[in-house]
Chain A
Amino acid sequence: MRDGIRFRSDEFRAAKWGSHVLAPPVLSCVLVLWIWGVASAEPPASDPAPVGNPRAPEMMVLLEQEMAAGLKQRRIEANFSRFRSYAARTLDNTAGRRGSEVTGNCRLSWYDHMMRDPLKAPGEAEQFTRELHQAVVGDHEGLDRALAIARTKMDLDQRPPLTFAPVGSPEAALEAVTIALGGAQLAHNKALAPLSRSEIKQLADGLYPMLTTRPSVGHTVSGRSTGRRLCDLLEKLDRNAVYTAAESLVPLSNPELLKQLAALPEEGNVTVEGATGTITRQIATPAGKIVIGGREKNTYQLDKMQAVNVVIDLGGDDVYYEGSVSLARPLLIVIDLQGDDAYRGTKPGVQGSAVLGISMLLDVAGNDVYDAKNVAQGSCLGGAGILIDYAGNDSYRGVRRVQGQAIGGLGILIDRAGHDRYHAAMWDQGFGGPLGFGLLDDLDGNDRYYTGGLYPDSYPETPGYEGWGQGVGAGLRGVANGGLGMILDGGGDDVYEYDYIAHGGGYWLGVGFARDFGGDDQRLAATSKAFNGSARRERRYQRLGTGFGCHYTLGFCFDDQGDDSYHGTIMSVGYAWDLSVGALCDFAGNDRYEAAGGGTQGNGAQAGLGILFDCQGDDYYRGYGQGRATSSISYHNMPQCGGNFSFVVDYGGEDKYGCGAKNNSYNRRYTSGGFLIDRAINKSDGPETAESGSAETNAGS
C-alpha cells in the first residue's frame, strides 16, 4: 500500500454534532451507540408497524455525516459546493425551456429539491421508500396513505385521510361498490375536463403507439415533437382528479368489504353478453353496470361487455379475457373473490390498467396467472391502474409498460402474499415515466423478477438488452422529465434479473427506487435467458443498474436484511453518470459485491455522486473499482461542475476489497473525490476508532 494523505486529528476535534462534519472517531462512537440502541427503539403506538431495518434512518444520517466529513477532511467542500451550484443552475436554466434537449416540462419539485441537496437525497429516499411500503402493508387505510404520499411527491393537492364507513352486510358492500363507481366516474370526467375534444383525441390516438409500440429504444420516442406535444397534454390533465378517481376505489380494497361481498347470495341467473357460467345479478346504476358472477367457473370476455363497469365474481376458477380500459370504457373494476384465476389479454389497458381511464383489479385468493402484452397489470398511460392480489403464488407476465408502470398518472401493482414471478421486457416493475408514479410492491414470499431479454439495447459498443424496470424513474430524452418508479419487496429470498438501465435508477430527470426489506437476495443483473426462455442471443452484459443515476437524475437501491449478492457488468452498484446521484445502501448481512467492471461500486463520473454504503456483516467487494473517482470529465466544464465524487462506506464486519484496501481503513481512490472508508464496530469493547487504524491511504491506486 502506498503512503496516503494522513488526515489531521485536530481537524476532527473541531467537529461537532449537527454540523455535518463529524470526525471519524465521533462517527465510530455513534455507530456503537446505534448498535446498542437497536433493541430499545420502539415506535409510537399509533404508528403503523415498522418495516425493514429499524436503524436504517440513523444509518442514513451517519452516511450523510461521513460524506460531509470526508469532503471537509480532504478540503474539497468547495468542489462539492460547485457541484451543487452547477446542478442548481442547470435546473434553473432548463426549467420551462422547451427548445433544448433538457427541458423543464413534467418536472417534479421533489426531484428538483433532491438534486439540489445530493448529500441528503439518499436519506430522503430511504424515508420515502420505508414509509411507502409501511403504508402499503396496511390494507385499505394503508393504500389511502400510500396515495397521499404519492400526492405529496407528485406535486398534487394534499387531502385529509379518507374515512371508511363500516360495511355490515353484503348489500352494504354492494352499495359501497356503487358509490365508489360513481365517485370514480365523476372524478375521471373532471380529470379530462381541462382538455378539448381534439386534445383528448390526440392523447387517445397517440399515447399507446407513441410511447409503447413505436419506439425502437427505451430512452426516447421516435418523433420528439409529437412526444412533447403528448406530454404537454398530459400536463393539462387534471391530475388531482385522477388521484381522486383512484382514491374513490380505495374503499373496495377493505378486507371486510371483500368478505361481505363474498357472502352475496347467488339469487338469480341472468344473461350477460360476453359472460358464461352463472351470472347471478346485473345492476344498472347511473355510473355503469355491475355484474355479479356465481361461485362456479365463469369466463368473461370483458371487451364484449363494454357496458359493464364492474365485475364481481364470487368464486370458481375463472378466466378473464381482455378488459381494456380506454375512452370507450374509461372505468373498469374487477373483483374476484375466490379461485385460481387466469387473466389473459393482448390489448393495452387490461388487468388493472388504463389508457386515459381508471381501472382496479382485486383478486382475493388463489394462485393466479396474469398474462398480457403491453400496458397491463397495474399500469397506465394517462389515468390510474391498480392491481392488488391478496394471496397465492401468482405469475405475472407481460411485455412493455406493465407491472406497476405509469405515465401521466398512477400505476400500482401490489401482491400481498405468496411466491410470485414477474416477467416483463421493458418499462415495467415499478417504472415512472413523465408525470408517472409507478409502484410494484410485493409484500411477502420468495419472488423472482425478470425484466429484459427481448429488445437489443441502444448502445452500439456493448451487447445486451433493454431493461428499464424494477424501480426506474425515467424521462423521455429530449422530450420530457421523468417521474417516480419504485419496486419494493417486503420479505423472502428474492431473485432479480434485469438488463440495461434497471433496478433502482433514474434516467433523464427522473427518480427510481428499489428496496428489498428482508431475506437473502440475489441481484443477478443481466438476464440469464432470453425473454421467451430460450438462450440469449446477446452475451450476458448489464449496463447501468442497482442504484444508479444517468443524465440529471437520482437512483437508489436499498436492502435491509440478509446476505445478499450484487452482480453487474459496468456502471452499476452505486453509480452516477452526468450530473446525477446513484446510491446502493445495504443495511445488514454478509454481502457480496460481484459487479467488477468499469464504473462499479460507488463511482461518480461526468460530474456525478456515486455511493455504495454497507452496514454490518463480512462483505466481499470483487474487483478494483471501489470508490474510484477520476478527474476525467468531458460533459461539463471544470472546475465549474465541481468534479466527480465517489464513496464506498462500510461499517462493521471483516471485509475484503479487491482493490487491496484493508479493514478499518480510510482510503483515497484516485482523485481527492474518491473515498473508501471502512470502519469497525465492536459491541463489547466499544469503538475501534477509525483514527487508530485509519491513516488515509491511496488504496490500490
Chain B
Amino acid sequence: MPRKAGILRFLTTTGCLLVLAGPIAPSFGEAPAQPGAPAPATEKGTGSPEATPSESPPGLSPEMAALRDRVRRAVTSYSQQPFNTRDNTAGDLIQVALAFGGRAAVREGSPSGRKINAIGCLCWNYPCAGYRLLQIGEGRLMARIGYGLQQAPSQFLAVLATSGVSADYEMRVGGVSATVAHLVKYEMLDTRSGTDLSLKLIGLSHYLEDEQHWKSRLGEDWSVDRLIQEELARSADAGDCDVTNRLLGLSYAVERRINRKRPVDGRFLDAQTYVRKYHEYALKLQNPNGSWHSRFFAVKGTSRDVAGSLRSTGHILEWLVFSLPEDQLQDPRVVLSVGYLTGLLESRRSRQGPTATSARDIGGTMHALHALSIYDRRVFKPWDPEKPKPETEDTTGQQDAS
C-alpha cells in the first residue's frame, strides 16, 4: 500500500486529530526550504494527472518551435518576479504556487530577500503581508478563507494536488507539526452539499482513493463519486472563473481516474462526457484572435478589458489544455489561444509588480502561466532533447512548469 494511502486510511478510520505537541525541529522560523532545495516531497509517479498519453505527437513545425521558445521565455520571465512575504498575501502566493508548482520561489521579507519555496512558505504558515494561511481549531488543521487568504474553498489543497505535493509533506502551525494529510482530513470533514465543491474535488480526488467513503461533520456520506455528482448538478456562474473551476474539477477527477488506470465509468463517464461537450462549446465562443470575452462563457465577443481577457482566456485555456485529448492540443484554435496569451503576457510583463498588481490580475496572470506550463509539458516537452539526469534528483513534484 502506498504510504499516502496508508496515512489517509488511518486518518479516516480513526478520526485521528493532530497531536498538539511542542515544536519539532526545525523550529518555526526556519526557512521552509532553501533556494533550489526540494521543499515539498512528492510521491513519485503520482503527480498531477493531466496529459493522458496517447500517440506520439507529430514533429514540431518551425512555427510551433518558435511558439515554444516564446512560451518558455514568458514562463521563465514571470517566474522571476519578486513576489515576497512582505508585500504579497498568502492568497497571492497560492496563485504563484499554482503557476509554478513545487518550484515556485518567493523572496522572504522583501523583494531582495532570500529565495524560499512558495509552497513550503505556505505550509509552514509564514506570515505573508501579515496573513497566515493556516490555523488549528478544535485540534484540526484548516486553511483559512477570506481577504489575503484562500479565494475559494479548498483552493490551497487543490494547488497542493496539482503541484504533486505528497500527503506526508510537513505543515506547521505555531508549535504544531502536521502533514498535508491532516488538511485532507479537514477538507473531508468540511464537505457540505449544495456548495462549490470544484476545488475540493481536485484535492480529494488527488489524495483519496476513488472508492473511499467518508462522513462529513454534518453526518453526510461522501465519496469522490458523490463530489462529481454534486458538481455535475451545480449551476456555476458562466461569467466568472466559477465555470472553469467546475470544469477543471470534473476534468481532474476523470484524468486522475485514467491515470490510475481505472475504467472511466459511472459518474466518471458522466463527467467525461460533460467535459467533452463543453470543449466544443468553449471553442465556439472563442474570438478570432484566440481570446475569450472577459465574462468567460456568459458573453461572446471581444472586450476592451485586457486584464479581464487575460484572466478569462487564462482560466479557459488552462482547463482546455489540461483536459483536451493529446491529438487536439495542436488544433489551430488552441494554438491561437496559446499565442494570444503568450503575447499578452509578454506585453504586460513590465506592468507587473508585487504591490502594483491586484489580486485579480495576479490570479489571471498565474492561471495563464499555468496554462502555458501545461501546454509546454504536454506539447513541447516530449520533443526536447534528452538531458543527462542531474546527480540530485528533483523531488519537488513539479510537473507543470518547464
Contacts and interface: CB of A to CB of B under 8 A. Distances in A.
Given A198-B355, A198-B356, A284 B151 contact: no
A648 B146 CA distance: 54
Interface centre among A175, A185, A197, A289 (most CB of B within 10 A): A197
A305 to B, nearest CB: 15
5 contacts: A185-B147, A186-B152, A288-B144, A327-B147, A330-B146
Contacts of B137: 283-285, 289
A188 B136 CA distance: 23
Contacts of A195: 358-359
Contact of A197 (B87, B142, B151): B87
A331 interface: yes
B145 interface: yes
Contact of A186 (B135, B151, B192, B218): B151
A185 B358 contact: no
A285 B144 CA distance: 8
Nearest to A199: B358
A286 B363 contact: no
B236 to A, nearest CB: 14
Interface string B327-357: 0000000000000000000000000001111
Nearest to A284: B137
Contacts of B153: 182, 186, 286
A175 B356 contact: no
Given A185-B145, A189-B145, A197-B87, A284 B135 contact: yes
B237 to A, nearest CB: 10
A275 interface: no
Interface in A271-330: 283-289, 327, 330
Contacts of B218: 175
Contact of A196 (B138, B147, B152, B355): B355
A193 B360 contact: yes
Nearest to B130: A328
A693 interface: no
Interface in A194-230: 194-199
B146 A288 contact: yes
B147 A287 contact: no
B150 interface: yes
Interface of B: 87-89, 91, 129, 135-138, 140, 142-153, 190, 192, 195, 218, 354-361, 363
Contact of B355 (A182, A190, A197, A330): A197
Contacts of B190: 286
Given A186-B146, A193-B358, 7 more contacts: A182-B145, A185-B146, A185-B147, A186-B151, A197-B89, A284-B138, A286-B145
Given A197-B87, A287-B144, A287-B145, A189 B151 contact: yes
Interface centre among A195, A283, A286, A289 (most CB of B within 10 A): A286
Contacts of A288: 144, 146
Contacts of A192: 147, 359
B125 to A, nearest CB: 14
Contacts of A284: 135-138, 140, 142
Interface centre among B88, B135, B146, B195 (most CB of A within 10 A): B146
A179 B190 CA distance: 11
B358 A190 contact: no
A643 B88 CA distance: 57
Nearest to B364: A193
B151 A193 contact: yes
Contact of A190 (B148, B149, B151, B361): B151
Nearest to A327: B147
Interface residues of A, number: 26
Nearest to A289: B137
Contacts of B363: 193
B143 A286 contact: yes
Contacts, number: 76
A-B pairs with lowest CB-CB distance, top 6: A284-B137, A185-B146, A193-B360, A197-B355, A193-B359, A198-B355
B358 A286 contact: no
Contacts of B152: 186
A667 B261 CA distance: 92
Contacts of A190: 151
B358 A189 contact: no
Contacts of B143: 286
B357 A196 contact: yes
Given A289-B137, A327-B147, A330-B146, A197 B354 contact: yes
Nearest to B137: A284
B391 to A, nearest CB: 41
Contacts of B91: 189
A107 to B, nearest CB: 20
A175 B194 CA distance: 13
Given A186-B152, A193-B363, A284-B137, A331 B146 contact: yes
A38 to B, nearest CB: 45
Contacts of B195: 179
A148 B337 CA distance: 38
Nearest to B354: A197
Contacts of B360: 193-194
A330 B355 CA distance: 20
A497 to B, nearest CB: 40
Interface centre among B144, B147, B149 (most CB of A within 10 A): B147
Contacts of A186: 145-146, 151-153
Contacts of A193: 151, 358-360, 363
Interface string A176-191: 0001001001101110
B17 to A, nearest CB: 13
A248 B360 CA distance: 21
Nearest to B154: A286
Contacts of B354: 197
A186 B150 CA distance: 8
Contact of A188 (B129, B144, B146, B361): B146
Contacts of B151: 186, 189-190, 193
A325 to B, nearest CB: 12
Contacts of A189: 91, 145-149, 151, 359
A351 B150 CA distance: 27
A175 B195 CA distance: 13
A193 B95 CA distance: 13
B43 to A, nearest CB: 25
Contacts of A287: 144-146
Nearest to A197: B355
B151 to A, nearest CB: 5
A190 B145 CA distance: 11
B178 to A, nearest CB: 15
A327 B144 CA distance: 15
A288 B147 CA distance: 12
Nearest to B152: A186
Contacts of B149: 189
A188 B150 CA distance: 12
A196 B358 contact: yes
A194 B357 CA distance: 9
A20 B218 CA distance: 62
Nearest to A157: B239
B107 to A, nearest CB: 15
Contacts of A331: 146
Contacts of B192: 179
Contact of B150 (A175, A197, A285, A286): A286
A189 B150 CA distance: 9
A559 B167 CA distance: 67
Contacts of A182: 145, 153
Nearest to B147: A189
Contacts of B142: 284-286
A185 B147 CA distance: 7
A159 to B, nearest CB: 10
B219 to A, nearest CB: 11
Contacts of B147: 185, 188-189, 192, 327, 330
A552 B347 CA distance: 43
A508 B280 CA distance: 51
A189 B88 CA distance: 14
A651 B88 CA distance: 65
